[in-house]
């Protein structure tokens, strides 16, 4: 099973991870980060395959994946 960590301090809420997630398993958090921005949040780790598309699409390198599919 994949474990996804999103660095909330770096995330700018661009939504690329949300758009490209094949499982539609990422959303915007309603809580703002210290920069006043909504950040990405995982809906359910159980639904994540660890495909790494969110990691590859993130322009700010905010996503870290452990486990899951090897890229």
Digits of tens for pLDDT over the chain (71 positions)?
788 999 999 999 999 999 999 999 999 999 999 999 999 999 999 999 999 999 999 999 999 998 866 65
Output the pTM of the full model.
0.87
The answer to whether the CB of 55 falls within 8 A of the CB of 22 is no
The answer to whether the CB of 63 falls within 8 A of the CB of 13 is no
Domain definitions of the chain by residue range: 3-66
Amino acid 27: pLDDT: 98
d(CA 10, CA 4): 15
Amino acid 29: pLDDT: 95
Query: Domain 3-66 belongs to what architecture?
Result: 2-Layer Sandwich (3.30)
């Amino acid at each position: 099973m994949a474990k996804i960590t999103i660095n909330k301090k770096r995330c700018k809420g661009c939504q690329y991870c949300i758009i490209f997630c094949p499982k539609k398993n990422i959303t915007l958090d309603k809580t703002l980060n210290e920069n006043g921005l909504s950040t990405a949040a995982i809906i359910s780790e159980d639904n994540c395959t660890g495909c790494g598309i969110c990691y590859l699409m993130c322009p700010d390198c905010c996503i870290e994946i452990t486990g899951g599919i090897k890229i």
